């Protein structure tokens, strides 16, 4: 699971203070959508219709306030995305790292289980002298 970050400084950023409730909701929901879909902050015209509680009418205001940029070929780019969010490449790298860590942990547990099992087997084999007198000890001196 990946979470969108909303830096504290945005609470006092004039760009956000000038947004209407609809504009603010549009920005936050498109930001969360971009993170969840690993779009690196790119939003197409078609995407907007699938993002909950987004007002297409707010796009021009988001561009005017420099929160979004118009992309060549259509759609928008969230302006501060690269500075505030984890990129697709970074997320994929983290996933690969987690998968390697899981495999390494599993291999370690398997090796540990194998060593423990072989130790238990060799320990059982050497236990056939339980309850027998020890050789070479003088019992009278005890």
| Predicted model pTM | 0.66
User: Element (H or E) spanning 77, and its range?
Assistant: strand 76-78
Is residue 27 within 8 Å of residue 41, measured between CB atoms? no
Q: What is the pLDDT of residue 86?
A: 76
Torsion angle in degrees (nearest 10) through CA of 129, 131, 134, 139: -170
Helix (H, G, I), strand (E, B) or coil at 117: helix
Per-residue tens of pLDDT for the chain, all 142 residues: 678 898 999 999 999 999 999 999 999 999 999 999 999 999 998 998 889 999 889 999 999 999 999 998 889 999 999 999 877 777 777 778 888 888 888 777 877 777 777 776 666 655 555 666 666 666 666 5
């Amino acid at each position: 699971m990946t979470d969108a970050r909303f830096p504290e400084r945005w609470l006092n950023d004039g760009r956000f203070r000038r947004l209407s409730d609809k504009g603010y909701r549009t920005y936050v929901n498109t930001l969360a959508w971009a993170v969840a879909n690993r779009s690196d902050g790119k939003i197409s015209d078609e995407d907007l219709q699938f993002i909950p509680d987004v007002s297409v009418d707010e796009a021009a205001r988001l561009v005017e306030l420099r929160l979004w940029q118009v992309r060549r070929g259509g759609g928008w780019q969230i302006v501060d995305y690269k500075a505030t969010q984890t990129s697709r490449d970074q997320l994929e790298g983290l996933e690969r790292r987690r998968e390697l860590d899981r495999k390494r942990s599993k291999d370690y547990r398997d090796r540990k289980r194998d060593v423990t099992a072989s130790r238990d087997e060799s320990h059982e084999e050497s236990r056939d002298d339980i309850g027998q007198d020890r050789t070479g000890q003088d019992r009278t001196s005890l």
